[in-house]
Structure 1
């Protein structure tokens, strides 16, 4: 059965009445496929037919309960559709969507979207006070259709496959923000990265593109270290190797590392990063961290004028710039999608990443 979105709501499109979605019951942790109504776009919203959606370790941790605090619990029976890495095609427009958007365009929605209503949004004076993450705060893209605010969309570069495009809003744009925007990486500076999986592998590419030298990658997985070297790292170490810090320090030289980025979200990674930072070194926490963030040696941190920074989300301009880098072939993510599953096998895709031993950059679902 189908229904038609009327012309007052934007483009007219024949849509199915229901769709399949992979959903989490927030109060119990139960996860599975559900048949749910296809949503209608409200004012300022765009309905996207999902072409591909990435599976991220954040999704794995939401499902295993370690990041459940990031997903509001609406009580018994409350479900959320997971998935914050999305590429799709505009199926319908809600009222008030600017004319630049139309049905049939391929788009990538930002994984974290501003509300558009708070004082910071309406005055354009700063970051949104109520950022909403797709697949956590609102329904995401592990479904046949999903909604997005029109102001959170970027066109998919023509040459990019749906699978590759789906990982851009998170696995590529987050490391871009970590290194270039927050880390303020400059050509000739040294950088060390902890965790070179889904985000960190692209971090290596971005660091090399920015002219960083040297680039050192830390990861316990041999395959991930090999991939980091292939992508442009000068050295790849197992962080558990007692000789690893000395090898990295020798490569950086007496000045130490200018920038350290933690994609691993592990306390031992942050401790190791702090010990290798040089004068006025910057530590950026790019992964989703839980628990306490400790300064291992405050005297050293203080004397060397270290800084530590974290961030949540990114402005639309960052996603646009990354799309530009892909359009003009400054970045190549053609090999980043290492496995594709149908939506019906979402649990299998999650299980592939849950063990922690996988060196896959990104696993993607196709509805």
Structure 2
């Protein structure tokens, strides 16, 4: 079938992107779902810094590539052998298609699936080579097994989590990356405990989800750090007890009763910020690396911080979540008013707005922009769950 998709053919850091236009909207041919795959009509897809890092070359991926890795859609067709999903089901798409059989999956660490990681690195799907091709017949790679900046996609069954159909698309889309990665970093990777002091550096969709996760865990205080005042304001709305500019963060954290925090979460994709996280910890504290810095980045922290002070540096991918388990749990918390994900939504755009959206993301003006496909946008009222007391 023919689809419209956002395609990256060359990386560039030349800005503004609305002028350099690294991403083009093209008509591609999409093959039919193979055994173990689904054809999904995309309804909403979120723009994430992980997408930006592919465009500017910080994350090296095989090109040309159809972009997009955070989305929600409606199943249009199932491939042979798929018996637990039906056409018409609503599904959140996730960027790690965990196979369920490798050593990591068997250990309960679905986010680190070895087969899924290999397929993602090659720009393929879990069950086979790319199904996308341009007008010349040249294969186009899939981004993280999803390629959701398109009206239709084929994904592995393992990349889709079935959800209730009453969840608004503009809310559900953010659960595939932002919520899993951020809330999971606090709840799973760091395993924040009630009463622990937490600092979150970087307040995009992932960072604000980490703030919400820390609040769910009972952390106090929760310090939110970002240079953008509007993002700091949202952080206070979703659970932070104080929000500060990075220039003021070190002094504020040093002034806390214990002289630091128990947990510091880095979501900015900066080695320097990760150094600041380690410096902010009390003895025995835990720093969680969530952002994606350039592969050549190096830390400047003293090695003695670990054995000498008992500090821990923890890597977190997809928030150490198991999507089939955790997306339903997080959606239940959203329904209860305890995970106000709708506050992350900054703008709703069309596929043709993609390069301008990259500029807004790079400039820090946006938290979560959503590209909308299919029916008209859900109303703001429909996207707000019933409130309950905390």
Q: When the two structures are superposed, what TM-score results if normalisation uses the length of structure 2?
A: 0.80
In 1, the alpha carbon distance for the partners of 2:99 and 2:67 equals 19
1:14 equivalent in structure 2: none
Question: What secondary structure sits across from 2:341 in the alignment?
Answer: coil
Give the alignment of 1:159-174 within 5 angstroms: 159-174=166-181
In the alignment, structure 1 residue 245 sits paired with structure 2 residue 235: no
In 2, the alpha carbon distance for the partners of 1:34 and 1:22 equals 6
What do the CA deviations read for 1:89-136 (whole angstroms, capped 9, x no partner)?
Answer: 0000000112x3111111102122135675655x67764213244852
In the alignment, structure 1 residue 343 sits paired with structure 2 residue 351: yes
Distance 1:37 1:117, change over 3 A: farther
Give the aligned CA root-mean-square deviation in angstroms: 2.3
Give the alignment of 1:1-367 within 5 angstroms: 17-26=1-10, 30-67=22-59, 69=60, 71-73=61-63, 79-98=64-83, 100-115=84-99, 127-130=112-115, 131=117, 132-133=119-120, 135-138=142-145, 140-241=147-248, 244-251=249-256, 253-254=257-258, 256-290=260-294, 291-313=296-318, 314-316=321-323, 317-354=325-362, 356-358=363-365, 360-367=366-373
User: How much does 1:284 deviate?
Assistant: 0.5
Gapped runs of 5+ residues in structure 1?
1-16, 74-78
User: How much does 1:221 deviate?
Assistant: 1.0
Count of matched residue pairs: 337
Aligned partners of 1:295 and 1:301 also within 8 Å: no
User: How much does 1:138 deviate?
Assistant: 4.0
In 2, the alpha carbon distance for the partners of 1:120 and 1:330 equals 31
Question: What secondary structure sits across from 2:192 in the alignment?
Answer: coil
Aligned partners of 2:96 and 2:144 also within 8 Å: no
User: How much does 1:311 deviate?
Assistant: 2.9
Distance 1:277 1:349, change over 3 A: same
Question: What secondary structure sits across from 1:217 in the alignment?
Answer: strand
User: How much does 1:31 deviate?
Assistant: 2.2
In 2, the alpha carbon distance for the partners of 1:248 and 1:48 equals 46
In 2, the alpha carbon distance for the partners of 1:206 and 1:119 equals 28
Question: What secondary structure sits across from 1:113 in the alignment?
Answer: coil
In 1, the alpha carbon distance for the partners of 2:79 and 2:107 equals 23
Q: When the two structures are superposed, what TM-score results if normalisation uses the length of structure 1?
A: 0.85
Is the deviation greater in 220-229 or in 257-266?
220-229
User: How much does 1:193 deviate?
Assistant: 0.5
2:387 equivalent in structure 1: none
What do the CA deviations read for 1:118-165 (whole angstroms, capped 9, x no partner)?
Answer: 5655x6776421324485244510001112222332223444311221
In 2, the alpha carbon distance for the partners of 1:177 and 1:327 equals 18
